[in-house]
Amino acid sequence: MNEFRVYDIKNQEMLYNNFFLDQEGKLYKNNQENGLLEYCEKENYIIMHSIDREDISTMKIFEKDILRYETGYEFFVAFGEHTSFCPGDQMMTTNQGFVAVRFEDNKPDYSEVYPLSHVEYLAKVVGYYINGVTTYLPEDEVIVSSDIEAELQEALEKNNKNFMSYIMPSSVIECLDTKNTVVVDIKNEINGIERNKD
């Protein structure tokens, strides 16, 4: 968990580059003019670690991000504990790490804490929540990564008559070629089910 971003409280901006953490957790900024590291007072910055996972658009996910699942529900990414029932052990277990906290009415609801499930396939970073302020990102960001679109197009060109199996990060994607229309549907969490339409 080495990657992180920094929120500059004074200038109210998110910064992704030129910051370093030492082994003691002290924050330093690379001065672009002289190339020297300058110590940063932590009360002026908020450090948010990466959870080492990406959303459906391949955007990296960090602490304090707001995730929106395909169901429309939003969750706040926090470091905390999640208690759940383990069917294998037949007992309640508590795990510590990054969790999804229900986000409603522009604030996290810590009475509803869940594991971060299927973020790569079902959730998108739509903003962040810092110091009681919600900031939403522009709505026109790409949801399906170009890599996935290219992979699907390549598969259609190679074998347009057979069933193909993919896990696609959107509700419904229709791809038309000269012989078939292939529908990819993972609504209701049915991942990678495809069928040829007649």
128 phi and psi, to 5 degrees? -150, 160
Residue spans of the domains in the chain: they are 4-136, 146-197
Contact 116, 131 (CB under 8 A): no
| 3-class secondary-structure state, position 44 | helix
187 phi and psi, to 5 degrees? -60, 150
Give the model's pLDDT for residue 180: 35
| 3-class secondary-structure state, position 165 | coil
CA angle 122, 127, 128 (to 5 degrees): 115
Please name which of 94, 61, 93 lies closest in space to residue 78, comparing C-alpha atoms.
Answer: 61
Give the model's pLDDT for residue 198: 38
pTM: 0.66
**Whole-angstrom distance, CA of residue 138 vs CA of residue 135:** 10
Give the model's pLDDT for residue 51: 95
Please name which of 3, 42, 6 lies closest in space to residue 26, comparing C-alpha atoms.
Answer: 42
Averaged over successive runs of 10 residues, the pLDDT of the chain (198 residues) comes to 88 92 92 91 94 94 95 93 77 87 94 89 94 86 46 53 34 33 33 37
